[in-house]
Amino acid sequence: MNILKQELRMGRKSLIIWCLSLVGVLCFFMLLYPSISNQLEDFQKVFKSFPIEFQQAFGIADLELSSILSFYQFTLMYVLLAGAIQAMNMGVAIISSEVREKTADFLFVKPVSRNRVVSMKILAVLVQILITNAFVFTAALIIVTLLSTDAYDVELFALFTLSLLFIQIFFASLGLFVSVFLRRIRTVLPISMGVVFIFYIIHLLNETLKDEKLGLISPFDYFNLSEISKKMNYDSLNFLLWFVLVGMFIFLTFKLFARKDLPSI
């Protein structure tokens, strides 16, 4: 429990910055909605003038500016991208920091098993993800309610927003696996951004190609906002795949970390 408290204390400043950043991105885009809705025809013409491949890739092919949830769906994609980087960053950093900051010797002379150390670190990441999602969900609910002139589907809003939670858990678990798979990580952010953007580019390609096999690679396709809007639910096959991959990454994290040689100071 002391490990959990220490990790949360150490990550407190970063968590606050990320929460404010995600809400800042959300507010920046959503506050454009009133002016866009007042000039609906002009903006629709601008969007329709783009090539269809561009519209599909950036999620504006079916964008209905008259609907606040449709505009929220467009905005949320950028929040998901930033949130994925945050989660991947936490997953990679929380274990690799012991090697990078040369504190492994100090930690592992304590009467605590490696599995317990990993468990507490994973729990710390999960707590921070839950705090982030509670913060974003509350802010999104307030701003959508204030900007909406008509009633909107609260269930669909919840499905959209909870996608952030699942995507963050995926990238956090992937980050944990990467951190124990690689022997030494000097800088965390380039790895986190690189991995997330690769998956996002695959998602953009699949938006135009509509390849089912390609859609199984990127977690952004597991919780595709356009498909959620059509089906009013998550895809069961993609959700099962998400569950299996997250479980596998967590299992391998425990397995590899138990055998990993940690360099001494």
Q: DSSP labels for 49-112?
A: HS-HHHHHHTT-TT--TT-HHHHHHHHHHHHHHHHHHHHHHHHHHHHHHHHHTT-HHHHHTSS-
* pLDDT confidence band for 89 (50 / 70 / 90): very high
Lowest mean pLDDT among 54-58, 110-114, 238-242: 54-58
**Would you state the pLDDT for residue 156?**
93
Q: What is the DSSP string of 227-238?
A: HHHHHSS--HHH
At 106, is the pLDDT very low, low, confident or very high (cuts 50, 70, 90)? low
* Burial classification of residue 261, based on how many CB atoms lie within 10 Å of its CB (0-12 exposed, 13-18 middle, 19 or more buried): exposed
User: What gap in Å lies between CA 207 and CA 211, rounded to an integer?
Assistant: 8
Who has greater pLDDT, 51 or 226?
Answer: 226
Q: Which residues contact 112 (CB under 8 A, 6 or more apart)?
A: 3
Count CB atoms within 10 A of the CB of residue 101.
9
Residues in CB range of 80: below 8 A, 6 or more apart: 163, 164, 167, 220, 223
Assess whether pLDDT exceeds 90 at residue 95: no
- Condensed to tens digits (0 to 9), the pLDDT of residues 64-82 reads 666 888 889 889 999 999 9
The full set of domain ranges for the chain reads: 2-259
pLDDT tens-digit readout, 143-187 = 999 998 888 899 999 999 999 999 999 999 999 999 887 766 777
Q: What is the pLDDT of residue 50?
A: 65
